[in-house]
């Protein structure tokens, strides 16, 4: 365990969680995502919301720091963790996964993967990540179009970003992350079916993010050596 990375990323993640709380509190069910006033203090979000968001982002980033080696990739996986937690919170509040934030996940992961592939000359992991992400988006898009109301395009983009990110590690990591998220979503829907109007209205973002984090927490080394 890299204690320095764990503590450093945990603190950094918690700090970033404050403006994320402001954004999450301001996002509406539709319309553009705007940076709210006093975003550096959490905007209009209640102090309890700001603290809870900061704790969640800090813990997620610290977990990444604890299990991954201290390389450049560590920073990009921590970025994924923090933004992913923000997306999960937004999905709970607004039933929405804004494309600007899911796009940031794709872009940050892709930037690191391309640079790493060019630097090492090994393009296999990049191809695997791209294939995993594209396959996930294609499959879930078919489901979304076939069963309107059951799956949103934000869910499709987020799930694709997760398998794209985990696909860099291995096929098994991508598969485990997605499958865990889907199973958790089903469990969440069954648990809260009396509180919400059924499965279709249960936000998928939190389950997908927990699936990603659990997969990473199992150990980066366990996946990076797997074909």
Lowest mean pLDDT among 84-93, 117-126, 146-155: 146-155
Average pLDDT over residues 10-31: 91
Half-sphere exposure of 167 (CA within 13 A, CB side): 25
**Host domain of residue 148:** 3-224
How many structural domains are present in the chain? Answer: 1
pLDDT of residue 111: 96
Could you give the CA distance from residue 20 to residue 89 in angstroms, rounded to a whole number? 9
Could you give the CA distance from residue 147 to residue 130 in angstroms, rounded to a whole number? 26
pLDDT at 226 over 50: no
- How sure is the predictor about 199, in pLDDT bands with cuts at 50, 70 and 90? very low
pLDDT at 196 over 90: no
Residue 165's Cβ-count burial label (10 Å; 0-12, 13-18, 19+) is buried
Report yes or no: 155 and 208 within 8 Å, Cβ to Cβ. yes
Could you give the CA distance from residue 78 to residue 76 in angstroms, rounded to a whole number? 5
DSSP 19: H
pLDDT of residue 29: 79
Tokens matching residue 155: 């869910």
pLDDT at 180 over 80: yes
Average pLDDT over residues 47-52: 93
- How sure is the predictor about 225, in pLDDT bands with cuts at 50, 70 and 90? very low
pLDDT of residue 198: 46
pLDDT at 164 over 90: yes
Could you give the CA distance from residue 100 to residue 18 in angstroms, rounded to a whole number? 19
Instruction: Provide the whole-model pTM.
Output: 0.91
Q: Which has the closest alpha carbon to 52: 26, 27, 24, 30?
A: 24
């Amino acid at each position: 365990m890299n204690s320095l990375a764990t503590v450093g990323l945990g603190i950094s993640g918690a700090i970033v969680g404050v403006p994320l709380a402001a954004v999450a509190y301001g996002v509406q069910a539709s319309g553009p995502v705007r940076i709210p006033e006093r975003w550096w203090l959490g905007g209009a979000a209640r102090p309890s919301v700001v603290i809870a968001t900061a704790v969640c982002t800090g813990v997620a980033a610290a977990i990444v720091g604890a299990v991954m080696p201290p390389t450049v990739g560590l920073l990009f996986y921590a970025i994924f963790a923090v933004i992913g937690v923000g997306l999960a919170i937004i999905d709970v509040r607004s039933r929405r996964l804004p494309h600007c934030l899911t796009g940031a996940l794709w872009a940050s992961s892709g930037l690191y993967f391309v640079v790493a592939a060019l630097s090492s000359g090994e393009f296999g992991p990049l191809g695997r990540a791209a294939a995993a992400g594209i396959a996930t988006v294609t499959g879930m898009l078919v489901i979304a179009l076939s069963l309107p109301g059951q799956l949103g395009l934000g869910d499709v983009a987020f799930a694709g970003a997760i398998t794209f990110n985990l696909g860099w590690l291995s096929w098994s990591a991508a598969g485990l992350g997605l499958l865990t998220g889907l199973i958790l979503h089903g469990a969440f829907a069954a648990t809260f079916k009396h509180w919400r109007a059924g499965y279709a209205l249960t936000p998928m973002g939190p389950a997908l993010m927990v699936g990603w984090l659990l997969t990473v927490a199992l150990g980066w080394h366990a996946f990076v050596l797997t074909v």
